[in-house]
Amino acid sequence: MKHQHFFAGCLAIAATALGIGSTGAQDTIKVGLVMPMTGTVGAAGQEVAAAIKLYMAQHGDTVAGKKIEILLRDDGSVPDNGKRLAQELIVNDHVAILGAGTTPSAMSMAPIATEAKVSTVVMISGTSVVTERSPYYVRTCFTLGQQSGIIADWAIEDGSRKAVSVLSDWAPGAEAGKVFEQHFTAGGGQLLETLKVPLANPDFAPFLQRARDLKPDTLFVFVPAGQAGPFAKQFAERGLDKSGIKLVGPGDIVDDNDLNGTGDSLVGVVTAGFYSAAHPSQLNKDYVAAYAKATGGKRANFISVGGYDGMHLIYEALKKTGGSADAHKLLAAMKGMSWESPRGPVSIDPATRDIVQNVYIRKVEKKDGEPWAVEFAAFEAVKDPLHPAAK
Ligand code: PHB
């Protein structure tokens, strides 16, 4: 009897040490998300958080025998907060994996992720250089370059020759403008002027007036998630929707989260984007329906899929490592991984750790009284054109 107790006791200690049969630390993998839940791009963090919650509701909170615990931190859209929050998540909360949001915050977190050797999934930032800032970074969202060259080529083919760029004045805007200009001028077009709009509380009216005065045939616009609605309103108020000037841009300007509130003002606008809630696959129809149900009727948008696929990448990589969150093992599992996303087929480029995805040309059309970005052409497996290693 005594012996039996002794052995049972030893087994219990060993099991705890191995993390078996208890809910100890070894059984839990903490994922620390540093997202803009408030501030200038607060809408984006909320969309990522909603999509991650949905993914976990659909797939469970346990993967490869490990319980996944999300620790969500709001960086308030302030870059330096990203660094501090990442540090706290690693040192105090012992997170094993990080999720990064917008460009400035992801940039500030990069040295922390590198130093602590924590694999980090970038879920919002669309600036090329971000994944080069840390060898532990993997991106599941997009780059502006991926979309902006394709829309420039399309505009040239559609007869555009004189363009004005209106860009939100921060890193992703600069990249969108740069790649658009490269392609547009290479195609024989002329960029008349680049107008930079402040990121915070933008008043588009004076920039739109200036753009109109320059008499372009085409307006290339980048505004970030959360600003498509206010932009569309001022665009229509200035009469630009009826001016004959063609509006083009990356997918951000027809953000599904805002599109439904824009009435007729963006109907006919053509963009190059990687995600539309109107993408006709069954997987996407199911995603849009589930996202709407989970969020009180919101339309899934391009930001949300970066979070949804980010969580998918983490789950699938953990399955491959048998539940190990060791950064080198996780990164090896993530590199080259491919899957079917609500946006279409995607993969992680093993050379750059960046997402490779289809970019669609879409036109805003009304269906059942609501505007949607309807895809009519696809460029397959597009890499980030600015990354030096993406060939
Ligand atoms: C970014 O952080 O790079 C970013 C955020 C929102 C966008 C596009 C890019 O819509």
For the CA of 252, the closest atom of ligand 1 is: 10
pLDDT (0 to 100) of residue 17? 41
Running along the chain, 391 residues long, what does each successive block of 10 average in pLDDT? 40 39 68 97 97 98 98 96 98 98 98 98 98 98 98 98 98 98 98 98 96 97 97 96 96 97 96 98 98 98 98 98 98 98 98 98 96 98 91 61
Contact predicate 151/270, CB 8 Å: yes
Burial of residue 72 (CB within 10 Å: 0-12, 13-18, 19+) is middle
State the pLDDT at residue 390. Answer: 73
Question: Which residues are paired to 272 by β-bridges?
Answer: 250, 361
CA of 279 to the centre of ligand 1 (A): 21
Q: What is the pTM of this model?
A: 0.93
Q: At residue 388, what is the residue type?
A: P
| Sequence-ordered list of residues with C-beta below 8 angstroms from that of 115, at least 6 positions apart, any chain | none
pLDDT of residue 218: 98
**Which residue is closest in CA terms to ligand 1's atom 2?**
102
For ligand 1, what atom is nearest to the CA of residue 104? 2
Task: Using the atom order of ligand 1, give the atom closest to the CA of residue 101.
Answer: 2
What pLDDT was estimated at residue 26? Answer: 73
The residue whose CA has the least distance to atom 7 of ligand 1 is: 224
* 56 neighbors 18 (Cβ within 8 angstroms): no
For a mutational test of ligand 1's pocket, the pick from 125, 137, 139, 227, i.e. the residue with the most ligand atoms closer than 8 A to its C-beta, is 125
Q: Which atom of ligand 1 is nearest to 224's Cα?
A: 10
What 3-state class would DSSP assign to 212?
Answer: helix
Yes or no: say if 121 and 34 are a contact pair by the CB < 8 Å rule.
no
252 lines ligand 1 (CB under 6 A): yes
Atom of ligand 1 nearest to the CA of 226: 10
What was the pLDDT predicted at 330?
Answer: 98
Cβ–ligand 1 distance for 225 under 6 Å, the answer yes
Ligand 1 in contact with 125 (CB < 6 A)? yes
141 lines ligand 1 (CB under 6 A): no
What is the residue with the minimal CA distance to atom 6 of ligand 1?
224
DSSP 8-state code for residue 217: S
| C-alpha pair distances (Å), 257 with each of 47, 94, 347 | 9, 34, 25
How far is Cα 348 from Cα 344, in angstroms, rounded to an integer?
Answer: 14
Compute, in angstroms, the gap from residue 224 CA to the centroid of ligand 1. 5
Length of the chain: 391
Site to substitute for ligand 1 among 34, 77, 103, most atoms within 8 A of C-beta: 103
Question: Closest ligand 1 atom to the C-alpha of 255?
Answer: 10
